[in-house]
Structure 1
Amino acid sequence: MRVVLHVGLPKTGTTYLQALLAGQRDALRAGGVVHPFVRPGAMFEGAVEVRGSAAKFGLDPARVEGTWQALCERARAFLEQEGGSTAVLSHEVLAGATPEQVHRALAPLAGLEVHVVVTARDLGRQAVAHWQEEVKLGSTASFAELERTQLRCDTGRDAGPDAGGRRPHFWHAQDFAAALERWSGPLPAGRGHLVLAPPPGAPRELLWQRFAAACGIDPGLLDPTVEVGANPSLGAAQVALLREVNREVQRLGERGSGLDAAQRHQVVKRGYAEGVLAAQGGRPARAPAALADVLGPPARRWLDEALAAGHSLHGDPDDLFPVLAGPGEDGPDVVPPPGVDPVAVARELVASARPRRRRWWRSSTP
């Protein structure tokens, strides 16, 4: 009986893997594997509870309280009472947990054989994905600003967030060796597993096969070729437009007519960025080729650390070679698409949230 905690990293195929696990629960259960279900969104809310980040995601702390415990109890019941062999809990929000948060997360699983899986991807694609995600969450920074303030800063851990220092968020978020160390530290040796995302053009199901091997489950229990949702990426021009929309939403907030965290997450990130803009496609953004010497060495160093620590590797080490823009190819920072007024878009988005506030006010007034 084993519990597998898949803790991320973000933007490493986690949405695809979670969609497979959730969409084919019955097939997994028939093979002795459970992806615990408590209620829709519980895996995300449980991870948010572990991280203490309800406010960041616009969630009510009272709603998430007790969710992680409930997921762990469901996993334990399946293993101890229903004869199951494996339980898989998965969410990338867990990746950046502090050692104290890790200990609290492992407490409800005491007595069970716990394994930790970390998925990683080349830092070229990760740099662009990290930037895009920050913009989806409201940032107005260009990729050049990210490069200057984070990518070209010290990648070391001595001044990392856990030590109260200033290690840039990108390096903390992408350091798969450190994530493995934090999550597997309280566990017996041999419980950490590193899965590498395949390079562009590889069959999508290859990631599932590597992940299943790390989890110790039969990859044939489910069909990895079915169409599942993915975390939408934006074209370079769409990111440029979203930055301008974010800038105007911030201005409206300074005037007292903006969005709170929950509204911004729902209306701007979910509705506009991952709905409207993602559907437009567009030329994907690629990190500049000049970053090869910045993004290549850390990944190789982290891989050496993970292997030296005894963690198992699932994938080809060459898959960590950074995917970057080719000669003459434009970088991530481009002009927004023509014909769209970001000021008008921002005002429309803010206005779209207002009817919900008015209806709530009316329904609560005698």
Structure 2
Amino acid sequence: MKALIHIGMPKTGSSTIQAFLKINAEALRAQGLRHDPVNPRFGSQYELAATGLVRAGAAMSDAVALRVLGLRDPAAQQAYVDAFEARLQHGQQAWGERVFLGSSEHIHAWLTRPEQITALDTVLRRYFDSVQYLVYLRPQGEMVVSAYSERIRRGETLSFNDHFNQRLKALNYWKSLRLWAKAVGEARLTPRLLTPDALVGGDLLDDFCAIAGIDRTGLQTPRRMNTSLSAEAIALRRQINRFLPVRNRKGGRAKPYQLALRLLERRLPQPGTRLQLSDGQRQILLADHAEANEKLRARYFPERATLFPTES
């Protein structure tokens, strides 16, 4: 059995891919592909990212993940990963499909050291004949705006300018891909560009299906997931976030927050103003990543004049 593991990045359509896999799991099994998350109520397969951390001797630190999974100490995290590996061991004998499909944006976000990536890869190669890793790269300008929207959804209150300055260096895709390529090998890493001109059929799910060997005919299409907030919605949530927590102690949605949001959102204009980079921020972003993007283009996408259309 082979494995195809979608490793994110965050804000690159991961939730859409995961929703697609979830609602079509039975139909996919009929095609010889298995999607088998440990926690089906979540989109991201935390178990994959947790395996890389724990097997490398590190601990999970994502506060939201720790609350929703109930893994508050190293022993619980170890047991969680042990159970996942036992699941893979059982599946090695019981699963009859030809491909295992996994997806977690937390893999890319959490596994930032070579030994952590290697630890995950070592576990997966123990149970699968081959393991391929898939990553989608979104234009940096779109990524930084979308990531800010997500931070505000999670309860943060920082300004967009502060967010921009914090995340500027984290958008070096060349550095990220070199880390993964050195850990798992160039041939087992498949980068794709999240732009209509680069995707099969101009569509993320069509592209994912082409890479995974899925016949999309007759399969369900999930609704659009995690769309970015408008500038007005961001301003409102920043204010609410100063006074109310987004989540309760168990990691679920806090009812007081949700009630306040529903009441106040009625006053917002629809569809609202799209948050965008200033001209100055756009120039800083392009200049900061020009060299890295060109290296990435030359290595993985030599047929393109520029890595992303906005660079032209």
Sort the TM-score into its range (normalised by shorter chain): 0.7 to 0.9
Q: Is 1:7 aligned to 2:24, yes or no?
A: no
CA distance in 1 between counterparts of 2:201 and 2:248 reads 34
Q: CA deviation at 1:193?
A: 0.9
Q: What is residue 229 of structure 2 aligned with on the other side?
A: 234
Q: What is residue 107 of structure 1 aligned with on the other side?
A: 122
CA contact (8 A) 1:195 1:211 kept: no
Q: Is 1:45 aligned to 2:62, yes or no?
A: no
Q: Is 1:123 aligned to 2:140, yes or no?
A: yes
CA distance in 1 between counterparts of 2:120 and 2:172 reads 20
Q: What is residue 153 of structure 1 aligned with on the other side?
A: none
Q: Quote the sequence identity (%).
A: 21
SS in 2 for 1:285: coil
Q: What is residue 98 of structure 2 aligned with on the other side?
A: 85
| Distance verdict in 2 for CA 1:72–1:192, change over 3 Å | farther
Q: Is 1:209 aligned to 2:206, yes or no?
A: yes
| Distance verdict in 2 for CA 1:73–1:55, change over 3 Å | same
Q: What is residue 214 of structure 2 aligned with on the other side?
A: 218
Q: CA deviation at 1:132?
A: 1.4
Q: CA deviation at 1:10?
A: 0.8
Q: CA deviation at 1:22?
A: 1.0
| Distance verdict in 2 for CA 1:65–1:290, change over 3 Å | same
CA contact (8 A) 1:35 1:88 kept: yes
CA contact (8 A) 1:33 1:85 kept: yes
CA distance in 2 between counterparts of 1:291 and 1:26 reads 46
CA contact (8 A) 1:177 1:306 kept: yes
| Distance verdict in 2 for CA 1:268–1:120, change over 3 Å | farther
| Distance verdict in 2 for CA 1:305–1:203, change over 3 Å | closer
Deviation sequence 1:171-219 (CA, Å, 0-9, x none): 32x333333333343323311111211259x99971122223334x134
Unaligned runs of 5+ in 2: 54-59
CA distance in 2 between counterparts of 1:114 and 1:262 reads 37
Q: Is 1:98 aligned to 2:112, yes or no?
A: yes
| Distance verdict in 2 for CA 1:289–1:315, change over 3 Å | farther
Q: CA deviation at 1:143?
A: 1.5
Deviation sequence 1:304-333 (CA, Å, 0-9, x none): 444565x5x59977672459xxxxxxxxxx
| Distance verdict in 2 for CA 1:241–1:124, change over 3 Å | same
SS in 1 for 2:219: coil
CA distance in 1 between counterparts of 2:241 and 2:194 reads 31
| Distance verdict in 2 for CA 1:317–1:308, change over 3 Å | closer
CA contact (8 A) 2:16 2:222 kept: no
Letter in 1 for 2:240: V
| Distance verdict in 2 for CA 1:8–1:270, change over 3 Å | farther
CA distance in 2 between counterparts of 1:82 and 1:307 reads 38
Q: Which of these residues, 134, 153, 156, is aligned with residue 151 of structure 2? A: 134
| Distance verdict in 2 for CA 1:245–1:145, change over 3 Å | same
Matches within 5 A, 1:265-280: 266-267=253-254, 271=258, 277=265
Q: CA deviation at 1:46?
A: 1.7
Q: CA deviation at 1:9?
A: 0.8
Deviation sequence 1:266-300 (CA, Å, 0-9, x none): 22899479977599642221222333322234555
CA distance in 2 between counterparts of 1:78 and 1:285 reads 45
SS in 1 for 2:131: strand
Letter in 1 for 2:225: A
Q: CA deviation at 1:15?
A: 0.9
CA contact (8 A) 1:136 1:268 kept: no
Matches within 5 A, 1:345-360: none
Q: Which of these residues, 243, 248, 252, is aligned with residue 243 of structure 2? A: 248
- What's the TM-score, normalizing by structure 2? 0.75
- RMSD of aligned residue pairs (Cα, Å): 3.9
CA distance in 2 between counterparts of 1:220 and 1:259 reads 37
Q: What is residue 61 of structure 1 aligned with on the other side?
A: 71
Q: Is 1:143 aligned to 2:153, yes or no?
A: no
SS in 2 for 1:195: strand
CA contact (8 A) 1:28 1:34 kept: yes
CA distance in 1 between counterparts of 2:262 and 2:135 reads 28
Q: Is 1:320 aligned to 2:300, yes or no?
A: no
SS in 1 for 2:186: coil
| Distance verdict in 2 for CA 1:64–1:83, change over 3 Å | same
Q: Which of these residues, 178, 181, 191, is aligned with residue 178 of structure 2? A: 181
Unaligned runs of 5+ in 1: 151-167, 250-257, 324-366
Matches within 5 A, 1:10-49: 10-41=10-41, 43-47=44-48, 49=50
- What's the TM-score, normalizing by structure 1? 0.65
Letter in 2 for 1:18: Q
Count residues in correspondence: 290
Instruction: Select the structure of larger CA radius of gyration.
Output: 1
| Distance verdict in 2 for CA 1:82–1:146, change over 3 Å | closer
